[in-house]
Structure 1
């Protein structure tokens, strides 16, 4: 279908029209901190909310710890009249429980704003102090939380396409065991509407209303979700690409397996980059390690393994695969009239074996 010039201002319209595959764009996260923040949200949400500056300073301490530099994510969720307490702040903390896992371990707190920063310090750095916040802890481990990016001031596509999806999910799918939230940007605007499903940590994009039953109820032909899957945040980029192929082959049961990934070999990007990677590995600068991660994500090929086990450990094993670049597509990374088009790599899976 031909798109109007107005439509093409939206990055997600260009991405979807050019059939950009969203897989491998979920990000890799070991720990999530979600905090209720009143709207409106400006472009730089945290910096423009003075009452949350102490929280931001706590989270920014993570930048001095190389291992956690890109593995902890802070997100805002919008207060919702159905769930929100007008005088308290809700906090979700999701954490990877082990190397092999199925879903993140969840903790939820409802507490005064004055206690928010001390709680964040305890959650991220001083777990032994969490006993001081037991009175604020909420027994909601059984509740599934769906987050949709509606951060219009960061990218207009997230409001244009994310908010209608949020409304539909609120209207049709909320129950006592499932809540739906608006969130600020978490990357991948060109895949709007984009969504995170907790506690399993799967990320979705380019979503359409007719696949929501399949996504929410986890029934039907799983292959209909293939074009919308950005990946599972428990794995790295190329592992996510292989994991989708495994899931498509094995079906819904795959979501019940604990799993982890391992890169065995990859294209190093030439002699110069290979040499710099070796040097940067031993330098205590988080941003250099982030640069190496970005180089690695541009590899032309990767050989990897995905290890899995059932909860009773009676069924276990490993898949091996080679992920290779299959070509490029033209996309738009941000909405706007004068935003240039860019070329991004696309990948496929070869030699998937169990």
Structure 2
């Protein structure tokens, strides 16, 4: 491992965790989390910090949600979005459900419903029971289903009540995307404000669905590249938190392949696995791992795999919450030391 190296930032001058992370050059890759299902629901603002306990609709769904995640190990990400004056309908609730369609895939499949508010909890319960493979019936909600699988959804965290950084840095990015990019898309792109979904040290942070990529430390001057994909992928390297179809170390390798392959890589069907890793305790991150990423071209014309070794290359200090008195922690940084196309 190289000698520890950090860029200095006087934390007394800074109350935003994302400024500490950025000043110390923390690499966001590998922090996207792993998902097989997304459940996204409109809930009106304001969003208090204790929203999950106080909102009656959400509170009533929490026991099922916890059963799915903690008892059955379902990789489900719940997201709350704010109703939008243009997209939303008073008295109705939008529910978006995305799911992993196959072992190898490039984007999540989508179902969207706009239901009367009184039916929103019943719809979410039916989706949860479907994931538990319990008897349920989504047919009664068929009349509320929307044909929107061709629409790209960009979701920006603006949830200042959970962390000030998301409000301070998320709002300008949200407003720019909503005002400039959504109208220009002719209905093919919608932009939403979301409640906290993790990683506020990377604010402004964004989810791009149906692809399922996460972005962080975003700046106004890279939005064109992110939305239009009209330049070199290397311009997005430092903002990429990873693709949620993979786990942490797989995400680090996947970025390296993307950097070499260009935009077309995002459409390749893929799956990953870690086949060797340093043995560590539960709370530690390994210093090294060996990873395999299998891929298939969208038209089936090419298939193969990459194998890679990742090793720790540095540690930087980061803050996980914004506060007057910042608590800093060391975060391991990684690089791909070997990447080979094996098949």
Q: Give the TM-score, by structure 2 length.
A: 0.92
Residue of structure 1 in register with 2:3 after alignment? none
The CA deviation at 1:64 is 4.4
Residue of structure 2 in register with 1:9 after alignment? 15
The CA deviation at 1:121 is 2.2
Instruction: Report the Cα distance in structure 2 between the residues aligned to 1:65 and 1:125, rounded to whole angstroms.
Output: 13
Change in CA separation of 1:25 and 1:2 when aligned onto 2, cut-off 3 Å: closer
1:58 to 64, 80, 94: 64
Residue of structure 1 in register with 2:327 after alignment? 340
Q: Any conservation in 2 of the 1:147–1:181 contact (CA below 8 Å)?
A: yes
Instruction: Report the Cα distance in structure 2 between the residues aligned to 1:211 and 1:14, rounded to whole angstroms.
Output: 20
What aligned pairs does 1:153-302 form with structure 2 within 5 A after superposition?
A: 153-174=161-182, 175=185, 176-269=187-280, 273=281, 292=282, 295=284, 298-302=285-289
Residue of structure 1 in register with 2:125 after alignment? 121
Q: Give the TM-score, by structure 1 length.
A: 0.89
Q: Secondary structure at the match of 1:153?
A: coil
Q: Root-mean-square deviation (CA), in Å?
A: 1.7
Unpaired segments ≥5 residues, structure 2: 1-6
Identify which range, 232-241 or 112-121, moves more after superposition: 112-121
1:19 to 25, 44, 50: 25
Q: Secondary structure at the match of 1:101?
A: coil
**Does residue 321 of the first structure (1) align with residue 294 of the second (2)?**
no
**Does residue 76 of the first structure (1) align with residue 60 of the second (2)?**
no
TM-superposition CA deviations, 1:243-292 (whole Å, max 9, x none): 000000000010110001011100012xxx4xxxxxxxxxxxxxxxxxx4
Identify which range, 33-42 or 119-128, moves more after superposition: 119-128
Instruction: Report the Cα distance in structure 2 between the residues aligned to 1:216 and 1:315, rounded to whole angstroms.
Output: 27
Unpaired segments ≥5 residues, structure 1: 274-291
The number of equivalent residue pairs is 328
**Does residue 135 of the first structure (1) align with residue 143 of the second (2)?**
yes
Q: Secondary structure at the match of 2:179?
A: helix
Q: Secondary structure at the match of 2:119?
A: helix
Change in CA separation of 1:5 and 1:268 when aligned onto 2, cut-off 3 Å: closer
Q: Any conservation in 1 of the 2:12–2:325 contact (CA below 8 Å)?
A: no
Instruction: Report the Cα distance in structure 1 between the residues aligned to 2:269 and 2:192, rounded to whole angstroms.
Output: 27
Q: Any conservation in 2 of the 1:194–1:206 contact (CA below 8 Å)?
A: yes
Instruction: Report the Cα distance in structure 2 between the residues aligned to 1:205 and 1:318, rounded to whole angstroms.
Output: 28
1:351 to 304, 328, 338: 338
Q: Secondary structure at the match of 1:326?
A: strand
Instruction: Report the Cα distance in structure 2 between the residues aligned to 1:65 and 1:249, rounded to whole angstroms.
Output: 40
Q: Secondary structure at the match of 1:185?
A: coil
Change in CA separation of 1:74 and 1:7 when aligned onto 2, cut-off 3 Å: farther
Instruction: Report the Cα distance in structure 1 between the residues aligned to 2:27 and 2:111, rounded to whole angstroms.
Output: 33
2:53 to 34, 39, 47: 47
The CA deviation at 1:312 is 2.2
1:152 to 156, 160, 165: 160
Residue of structure 2 in register with 1:283 after alignment? none
The CA deviation at 1:5 is 6.1
**Does residue 88 of the first structure (1) align with residue 92 of the second (2)?**
yes
Instruction: Report the Cα distance in structure 2 between the residues aligned to 1:160 and 1:228, rounded to whole angstroms.
Output: 18
The CA deviation at 1:7 is 5.5
Change in CA separation of 1:254 and 1:110 when aligned onto 2, cut-off 3 Å: same
Instruction: Report the Cα distance in structure 2 between the residues aligned to 1:107 and 1:45, rounded to whole angstroms.
Output: 25
More helix by share: 1
Residue of structure 1 in register with 2:4 after alignment? none
Q: Any conservation in 1 of the 2:69–2:76 contact (CA below 8 Å)?
A: no
Q: Any conservation in 1 of the 2:274–2:291 contact (CA below 8 Å)?
A: yes
